Chains A and B, each alone.
Chain A
């Protein structure tokens, strides 16, 4: 009885604390707010139209292009960008490389939010979203579907990442005992999470295996799952570099002196990892190209487009990473990470949208509404991210 009273009291305290934390802090008229608030409002209006008048009222999707920008960019690309969380948790918790410990929390938070918002964007694209519970509650399991696997792994991975992040929440809410319990779960969640990531990162590629006659042969091979997995490693690492650079500017006052100093070392290490992963990826791509004897396909628009992606946005940033790590050039690493991210966007959109039905007469281009909703998703994620990092102990504050 006494126990329940304590829990109820504690719960009341937390609700009060939570409400006080919900209040906005800092200046309202920042450039980010001025841009993001109108876009989020516009996005909500568009989504209202979408849910009352059908997908066709706001998107350019058609019978030939059932998947467009929301799937190709928000879900397929967004999830690749979130790959950093499983790479970093692998390095820190499994390999016990302590150097990267200071960025674990922010990386896991980024991964968790990316899954909630970008994989969550999948719901916006579903024609009959209320039936999304069907493959989960078990009244109709489509075991043979790659999408069944991917959706289950999204769900389980979100839970795993939440468990990995939960000690931070417990610390914020001043629950030391709960924190201790949750910290004990971390390694289990990490191992489970890495396994799930390997499977759904590659699973996103496997989704397109049955679209064989529709995808341009330069982007289709039976190894798409492997390519998607390997590229998610450097996509995730590049995203950590890119996002870390911005965070270190924007949230300067939240980050301790010590982390500012070790930041350079961390970025160099991540750059090295990205260079290696990118080279392996490039090597796979080259092997596939040679084995499938694609030489004849290279001398037209699609061939050049393929070369731009593979040379311009894989091989060149790969060498830039390697060069920058040797010469300790932070500037070049940052440029390389941006190029690598652009390369991932190109690759994912090529497989899912651009080189999909490449010979169609009426090609698909995203409508402005699709782009606004995508920006809405990105901005809302940044809002939640900002709210969490300004309140919870995400960054290392050591002096």
Chain B
């Protein structure tokens, strides 16, 4: 390989690694203040006002809460409904649990998204931008809570998920579900303050609550926090997800990429020159 083609290779490699050096160095501790919502499941009466308010605020399918008997089954959020309330029979009686996007502190979906269509805004909501999304559904593969939902029966499909009423927050309003809740099950605020309130309740009423705030540490911490009277696995939560933020799982691989991009071509070039030298020596030996 002559010098010209070497420089050419080096230049191309340099050009392709440039974007990678911008790899975000995530902070190991949560410093910035985010909005969040505290869900006290002991207060929820299963009226499903939040489901209606959410769908009305986002032009989604509005459930007929009087007649559809939806509480008979455990449901998941769908491409038509960003939030659902489920009923669980537990040792402490009926427990109602509202589910929606958890708005993780370090979301797997935004780390998965190759177009930044899935985006964590600076206030905390994780939002989706249709002008950027190419519909690869990698966010759905990555999300530990299976939150993003895809419109499979549309030629121009959207990813549907709770956006914590991002557009209402900008107007200084609370999320629609929080405003609609008649029992103060949902409390909107800064996550730090919500955590204090949650701890306060757990300490003051130790017989009423299990001593865990779901979302304090799970998958690195989430914007939505839950309190419960029974262990969380009994009310439909996965408790095996760990406390590591999900983007951490691919971080090592991504860090190794620029190293490989520089080290391997150098190694291969060296190897190539070495084999050439061998051939030369063989030829010389043959002449003798």
Contact = CB atoms under 8 A, between A and B. Distances in A.
A213 interface: yes
A51 interface: yes
Interface residues on B, range: 35 or more
Interface string A143-157: 111111101100010
A140 B115 contact: yes
A191 B9 contact: yes
Given A63-B76, A142-B116, A210-B250, 16 more contacts: A53-B155, A55-B152, A63-B146, A66-B140, A90-B268, A122-B136, A142-B115, A144-B250, A146-B112, A147-B114, A195-B13, A207-B141, A210-B108, A210-B249, A213-B144, A213-B241
A187 B272 contact: yes
A129 B13 CA distance: 28
A54 to B, nearest CB: 4
Contacts of B275: 94-96
A66 B137 contact: yes
A269 interface: no
B5 A145 contact: no
Contacts of B141: 66-67, 207-208, 210-211, 214
Contacts of B5: 184-185, 187-188
Interface string A104-141: 00000000000000000010011111011011000111
A209 interface: yes
Contacts of B238: 213
Nearest to B152: A56
B114 A195 contact: no
B233 to A, nearest CB: 13
A191 B8 contact: no
Contacts of A67: 137, 141
B260 interface: yes
A357 to B, nearest CB: 9
Nearest to A123: B134
Nearest to B241: A213
Interface in B1-43: 1, 5-6, 8-9, 12-13, 16, 19-20, 22-24
B117 interface: yes
Contact of A52 (B117, B155, B249, B271): B155
A174 B191 CA distance: 70
A278 interface: no
Nearest to A184: B5
B168 interface: no
Contacts of A212: 144, 242, 246, 249
A233 to B, nearest CB: 15
9 contacts: A63-B76, A131-B135, A143-B24, A146-B253, A187-B5, A209-B249, A210-B112, A210-B249, A210-B250
B264 A131 contact: no
Given A128-B156, A188-B5, A192-B13, A141 B271 contact: no
B217 interface: no
A126 B154 contact: no
Nearest to B138: A147
Interface in A38-74: 51-57, 59, 61-64, 66-67
A203 interface: yes
Contacts of B253: 146, 202-203, 206, 209, 225
Contacts of B13: 192, 195
Contacts of A214: 141
A71 to B, nearest CB: 9
Nearest to A149: B257
A50 to B, nearest CB: 9
Contact of B114 (A63, A64, A135): A135
Contact of B264 (A64, A96, A198): A198
Contacts of B150: 55, 63, 66, 127
Given A187-B5, A202-B253, A61 B132 contact: no
Nearest to B160: A63
Contacts of B249: 209-210, 212, 222
Interface in B176-229: none
B247 A144 contact: yes
Contact of B153 (A56, A93, A148, A222): A56
Interface in B233-288: 238, 240-242, 246-247, 249-250, 252-254, 257, 260-261, 264-265, 268-269, 271-272, 275-276, 279
Interface in A185-230: 185, 187-188, 191-192, 194-195, 198-199, 202-203, 206-214, 222, 225
B153 A53 contact: yes
A198 B260 contact: yes
A184 to B, nearest CB: 6
A234 B230 CA distance: 51
Interface centre among B13, B253, B271 (most CB of A within 10 A): B253
A62 B272 CA distance: 49
Interface centre among B1, B78, B136, B260 (most CB of A within 10 A): B136
B149 interface: yes
Contacts of A128: 130, 133-135, 156-157
A67 B114 CA distance: 16
A134 B134 CA distance: 8
A53 to B, nearest CB: 6
Contacts of B133: 127-128, 131
Interface in B99-137: 108, 110-117, 130-137
A140 B117 contact: yes
B268 A210 contact: no
Contacts of B86: none
A342 to B, nearest CB: 25
Interface string A167-192: 00000000000000000110110011
A148 B149 contact: no
B115 A131 contact: yes
B151 interface: yes
